[in-house]
Amino acid sequence: MNLFDELKWRGLIDNVTSPEIEDEINNGELTFYIGTDPTADSLHIGHYSSLLMAKRLQQHGHHPIMLVGGATGFIGDPKATGERNMLTPEVLQANYDALHRQINALWGFDMVNNLDWTKDISIIDFLRDYGKHFNVNYMINKETVKKRLDSGISYTEFSYMILQSLDFLHLYQEKNCRMQIGGQDQWGNITSGLELIRKKCGNDVKCFGLTMPLITKADGTKFGKSETGTVWLDAKKTSPYELYQFLFNTEDDKVIEYLKKLTFLSVEQIEELERSLREEPHKRNAQKALASEVVRDLHKEEGLQAALSITQALFSGKLSELDESMRKDAIMNMEKLSAPAGLTLLDLLVDTKIAASKREGREWIKGNSIAVNGVKVTDPDTRMTQEQAYIDNDLIIRRGKKRYYCVALEG
């Protein structure tokens, strides 16, 4: 299987601008770029597939450039749902610096900032040298722009396509960058960049565009900064344990897709995991492999081992074996409740509505179904004081084998 065929097998090819790209990817040494705007201080799981795509191509002799849009970040790529909030220069610079550190630490790609070649262009030069080459009828037929015509779109966001096209032109002229890769929602911007290159540099130029399918959740929504529950690549925003749990809980009908797109596991390894998923789904081997591979790739072996230690401690109830940092990670995904300090265990269960009534709570306690900080408690009159807290003023209540609650003791 050649490289292009493997990329198709992994579901990483949505569309290409020319059939020649297959031979270029299999046999050439392309300089290509992937871009993102600094609208947050970390990349998220939705970016991860694109970054791995760059890594896959790099391993086969191609040369990736990572563009972080210090200029386009001021404008905002049009969304189908409405205008973006404009960020201040200070926030954009802080985000750019954070992304620069993150990308350099994780992948070491060459990085460029489109503010460097955009900031000194005058409005007259912009309109004469670049805007003159764009037909408004062509621009309004781009998918995202078309969706916004009824609700309205500002000229600012409408002009984003021109700025991104200018990026492709600049990188072609200055770095011989001949391919842009983006999500399928970037098709219009990529083809506009190719058109600008042809108009400015001639029809014989050999440049290409490739789009990738967006990675979506089981409900069809995409991963992104604007979605709830964003999964960040920064360990300070999403801990290795949280990332592990997120991936381990992947639905059966999505896990093989994620294994293909988010890991470097071989075709044979993924096919074996697919067989295991089909024949013994209760073992969740595919989900374990997905979570382990991604966490190890992003947070190294230490991050994976920390995630596994927390997972095992919660499964076994041996919470006392975790150190302070692991304890903080362990409680992040728990349901957060609060109750006055000094209540009996029975009253605390009722006060927090963990139990619907004293009768229910007493049955759980007497039936060995309630653990406090990993230790079974069978006396309903045991006092819950701040001295018993697991970390800070938080108490961990486990009901049954899997249901955990983090109860803040107040007063």
- In which band, very low, low, confident or very high, does the pLDDT at 69 lie, cut at 50, 70 and 90? very high
User: Mean pLDDT throughout 380-401?
Assistant: 90
Give pLDDT tens digits for 245-262.
999 999 999 999 999 999
Is 324 buried (19+), middle (13-18) or exposed (0-12) by CB count in 10 A? exposed
Half-sphere exposure of 188 (CA within 13 A, CB side): 19
Fold identical between 3-212 and 334-410? Answer: no
The enclosing H or E element of 210 equals: strand 208-212
pLDDT at 224 over 70: no
**Both ends of the chain: CA-CA distance in Å?**
65
**CATH number belonging to domain 334-410:** 3.10.290.10
- Count CB-CB contacts under 10 A for residue 173: 13
Q: For residue 269, what pLDDT is reported?
A: 98
Domain ranges in the chain are: 3-212, 240-330, 334-410
CATH 3.40.50.620 fits 3-212, yes or no: yes
| Distances 362 to 78, 340, 346, 383 between C-alpha atoms, Å | 56, 19, 7, 14
**Closest to 133 in 3D by CA, of 201, 72, 211, 206:** 201
- How many Å apart are CA 231 and CA 215, to the nearest integer? 13
Report phi then psi at 375, rounded to 5: -115, 130
Return the SS3 of 227. coil
DSSP assignment letter at 88: P
Give pLDDT tens digits for 172-203.
999 999 999 999 989 989 999 999 999 999 99
- Count CB-CB contacts under 10 A for residue 201: 13
Q: For residue 37, what pLDDT is reported?
A: 92
- Count CB-CB contacts under 10 A for residue 241: 26
- Count CB-CB contacts under 10 A for residue 72: 24
Of all residues in the chain, the percent with pLDDT exceeding 70 is: 98
Q: For residue 163, what pLDDT is reported?
A: 92
CATH fold for the domain made of 240-330: Tyrosyl-Transfer RNA Synthetase (1.10.240)
- How many Å apart are CA 16 and CA 211, to the nearest integer? 6
Q: 160-175 vs 187-201: helix axis angle to the nearest 10?
A: 50
Give pLDDT tens digits for 81-94.
767 778 899 999 99
Average per-residue pLDDT for the chain: 91
Tokens 């005058």, residue located: 122
